[in-house]
Chains A and B, each alone.
Chain A
Amino acid sequence: MHGWRTKLTTLQRWTEAHHSYQQLQRVFTRLLPLVVIGSWCEAILTSCVSRDGFFAQIYDLPHRLPGFPYWHQVFSLLSTFTLGLVGIAAAGISALVFAESAGRQRLAVGTALIAYLLLAATTDRGGIVTLTLPALSSAWLLAGLLLGAGCGWLARHRFAMLWSGLVVAIAAAGRVALQAIPHGSVIAVVTGAIAELERFLGGLWLPIIQLASWLGLPVRQLALLDPHGAANLNYALAHAHLTQVPYPLTTATIYRPFATFGGMGATLGLLIAMVICHYRRRLAWSALGPGLVNLNLPLWLGVPVVLNPLLLIPYLLAPAACSVIAWGALALHLMPPAVYPLPDSTPGPLRAWLGTNGNWAALAVASVCLVVSVAIYLPFVRMVQAGGERHVA
């Protein structure tokens, strides 16, 4: 145990000593206000003022809240122009940070923003340009970071103007080239291949998705109702009990209700661990609201989890442990599987209880999973905390 800890601390020191990692953290710190405000807007949008939101449903808000559609529009706009701009903001801010010297920052930021917008835009044959807003969002965080860092790095070198012009020209040419490829068929081939791989790997696919999200790659949400889920639901509706549903052990009955508290990576455990350790409590409290409805971007960029090798371990381990616990409880018939579909914004620890239509054993297992995920995150949060104090000292 002790040896492991030393090794991990060494790993952490090594990462933190890296200049580019420090700069990355600086980018995240500057992005954080936008992300926190955006996440709260998104949390209110998806859970309260959307028809299929969790709180909207349980409190019947579409009928009780006056002007419900207008609230939806307001928060939809707010969320689009805060959280929805994280990708492009990441490009700009990382250009700013990586350019380092004040004289080159303007050039770097300008180049990064123009190149990013060029890549996010589409033109038709008539030359009319449209901007696709989702391309500016946090899904393309990694792309934004890389582009911005590249522009910043180039701006520090000789012939910076020339290089920047080249970047813009390549971006424009790349955009046109991308459009020339029959887009739909490529996407169809890629998604088909991914689906095939997913079927082949089964449950092992989940850590891969988590790894991808840790890297900042855009990750597809789990399908709301897979074929097995549909069969389970049919059985449950026909028989009024859940003891013999045809597919009790699936992603939808194990991973989703038990291993995604607070979003991917069971980050509600991280949040609680931070509160327990008194580690960056302000960040923890500001991430609590979004965290309860499974949006973890504030923690993810604030701690940060993304691209942080030390936190990758609990980020993978906590969901895996929760899945094993839930699998065991299902295999031993301690609880029925959660088969009823729920809104995405359902607070994580309630998912199992509600998904079984109020089974108390399922709630107990979910509580155990929550405690376990906190316990797994706790030592890592302490290590990150110790590292932070070393820096200050």
Chain B
Amino acid sequence: MWHKPWVKWLLVVLACGLIGAVAWPAQRWMKSTVHSQRVVHNSRLQPIIFIPGSSATQERFNSVIATLNKQTTGHSLLKVTVHPDGSLSESGAIAPHDDEPYIVVAFSDNRDGYTHIKQQAKWFNIAFKQLAATYHFNQFRGIGHSNGGLIFTLFLEKYLTADDATMTRLMTIGTPYNLEESNPLNRTQLLHDLVKGRAQLPKQLTVYAVAGTETYAGDGTVPLTSASAGKYIFQNQVRHYTQITVSGQDAGHSDLPENQQIIDYIKQDILTRPTRQSLRHP
């Protein structure tokens, strides 16, 4: 029987089938095991990074964070300013065992304008790499006020790779995706570039774009159409994209971060465990 040629071929086919029947489920199992191990491994430190808008310093979010810490169990705060040469100056600290600290990243050159914003995104990348290496995190969430939201978007499109870290949630507050232009048909160079680079955005990101309205047209500085132009960038590109418009008290552009409704959104959508007993840091 062994000498018939078809028996040999049958054996070869059988062996290949067996190898496939082991290799295919094995690698599927391995992928899912590694994935779940990674989730467990990465679930620990996940800072919330704030970037202020133009002309604002690292102190911009002090009152917001103070309010947040009053209304939740609270987190420690680290404030970082990036200097033009790429060096960092820090104040405050991340408390040990605080797995959701706040980090504010501001720039000593905080001028407005697309060229400056691009430069600031580059500086943010330098600061981010250094912070991630120092504090060993590879997941983070972000809140950007005004141009800070643009810096985050540019950073996601141009600098962040999935190998470095994963951004899970982003909230932009009064961010002018089309600068001061109110007609969405007139795309500025900035919006044009951001739309062009949208394929680089992380697929598992959740984005909340919050806009304020004092008038029916905008928050007094940023036109509503510019704040909602984020849809051209994020919609159908990230996992979730939500537009929120707040009005009423504190709906002016500079008051937005202190707006209680927006703070509620931060508590609800950005903080993971707002009521968890965790370390309060003065």
Binding site for B on A (CB under 8 A): 54-55, 57-59, 234, 237-241, 340, 347, 350, 353-354, 357-358
Contacts and interface: CB of A to CB of B under 8 A. Distances in A.
Contacts of B30: 340, 354, 357-358
B29 interface: yes
Interface stretch (B31-39, B48-56, B110-118, B242-250): B31-39
A40 to B, nearest CB: 17
B85 interface: no
A357 B163 contact: no
12 contacts: A55-B22, A58-B25, A58-B28, A237-B34, A237-B37, A238-B41, A238-B42, A239-B164, A340-B33, A340-B37, A353-B27, A357-B34
Contact of B163 (A237, A240, A350, A354): A240
B171 to A, nearest CB: 25
Interface residues of B, number: 20
Contacts of B41: 234, 237-238
A55 B21 CA distance: 11
Interface in B203-250: none
Contacts of A358: 27, 30-31
Given A237-B42, A357-B30, A358-B31, A350 B138 contact: no
B29 A57 contact: yes
A340 B29 CA distance: 12
By secondary structure, the B interface counts as helix
A58 B21 CA distance: 10
A238 B138 contact: yes
B24 to A, nearest CB: 9
Nearest to A240: B163
Nearest to B164: A239
B162 interface: yes
A47 B44 CA distance: 33
A252 B33 CA distance: 19
Contacts of A357: 30-31, 34
A191 to B, nearest CB: 30
A239 B25 contact: no
Given A238-B42, A238-B136, A239-B163, A350 B34 contact: no
B21 to A, nearest CB: 9
Contacts of B34: 237, 340, 357
B185 interface: no
Contacts of A350: 22-23, 26
Contacts of A55: 22
A59 B163 contact: no
Interface string B160-199: 0011100000000000000000000000000000000000
B29 A58 contact: yes
Contacts of A240: 38, 162-163
